[in-house]
């Protein structure tokens, strides 16, 4: 999982990233924090990169966290969880941020265990146990078995573990372009010199195994300069019951 952090103080930014990666790792989550000291830099990154959650400081230069929150919620169409982390703690300031679309608000100085617990809760839709089934429209994923079943079909479609992770990443972010860098990390290919070719191979196999092609109501589309997008005709992803 990727968390974008916005904080203009370099030492606080590194401390925040280190704390979250360590605390969330202890909770069983593999997280990489991507650090930004400029709101405009983070805004630009959201156009070509993929994040699962944002932590925004209010008071940063050029584009503060509150302005960035308004932009991504009102015009950016981003629905990822956003937590505001700020020294501003007056009731009207907290309520204003929540009204603009923040999912949570923590006042500095933060308490590491509390902050990580709040972020862990916000990441609940991305957490999956091996015994859990995840359903998107007519697709049901068995996470532990790395298999998929299409509604009405008797047989299970077996996937390789990296293919299963790739499919889950695309389905979770359906309708939005997912960056190649994000998908390389998901597949464990970020440090592989032939990672891009290996990713293309996995995308090809997913298209073949799950029939995610142009003739289907569920399609993997290449997005020039960014990565891939899963287009699905009319479904909502929910945990299988």
Contact 60, 12 (CB under 8 A): no
Q: pTM for the whole thing? A: 0.85
How many other CB atoms are found less than 10 A from the CB of residue 124? 8
CA distance 119 to 105: 11
pLDDT of residue 238: 45
Q: In the predicted model, what is the mean pLDDT of the chain? A: 88
Local structure of 214: helix, strand or coil: coil
How confident is residue 129, by pLDDT bands cut at 50, 70 and 90?
low
Cis previous bond, 89, omega within 30 = no
14-23, 69-78, 136-145, 199-208: which range is least confident on average? 136-145
* pLDDT (tens digit per residue) in 188-230: 898 888 889 999 999 999 999 988 877 777 899 999 999 999 9
Domains in the chain: ranges and CATH: 2-125 (3.40.50.2300), 129-239 (1.10.10.10)
Give the contacts of 21 (CB within 8 A, at least 6 positions apart).
31, 32, 33
Q: What is the mean pLDDT of residues 54-60?
A: 95
**pLDDT, greater one: 74 or 184:** 184
Beta strands in 185-240, from DSSP E residues, in sequence order = 218-223, 227-232, 237-239
pLDDT in tens, 69-109: 999 988 766 789 999 999 999 999 999 999 999 999 999 99
Angstrom distances, CA of residue 121 to CA of 38, 91, 127, 133? 26, 23, 9, 19
pLDDT at 239: 40
Beta strand 218-223 pairing with 139-142: unpaired
């Amino acid at each position: 999982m990727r968390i974008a952090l916005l904080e203009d103080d370099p030492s606080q930014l590194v401390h925040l990233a280190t704390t979250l990666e360590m605390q969330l790792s202890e909770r069983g989550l593999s997280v990489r924090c991507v650090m930004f000291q400029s709101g405009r830099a983070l805004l630009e990154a959201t156009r070509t990169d993929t994040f699962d959650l944002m932590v925004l400081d209010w008071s940063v230069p050029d584009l503060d966290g509150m302005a960035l929150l308004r932009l991504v919620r009102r015009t950016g169409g981003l629905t990822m969880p956003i937590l505001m982390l700020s020294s501003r703690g007056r009731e009207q300031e907290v309520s204003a941020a929540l009204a603009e679309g923040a999912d949570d608000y923590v006042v500095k100085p933060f308490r590491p265990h509390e902050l990580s617990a709040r972020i862990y809760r916000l990441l609940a839709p991305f957490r999956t146990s091996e015994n859990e089934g995840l359903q998107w429209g007519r697709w049901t994923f068995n996470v532990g078995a790395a298999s998929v079943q299409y509604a009405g079909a008797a047989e299970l479609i077996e996937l390789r573990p990296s293919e299963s992770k790739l499919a889950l990443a695309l389905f979770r972010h359906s309708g939005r372009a997912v960056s190649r860098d994000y998908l390389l990390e998901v597949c464990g290919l970020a440090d592989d010199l032939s990672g891009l070719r290996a990713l293309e191979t996995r995308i090809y196999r997913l298209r073949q195994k799950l029939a995610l092609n142009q003739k289907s109501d569920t399609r993997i589309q290449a997005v020039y300069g960014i990565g891939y997008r899963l287009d699905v005709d009319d479904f909502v992803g929910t945990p299988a019951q």
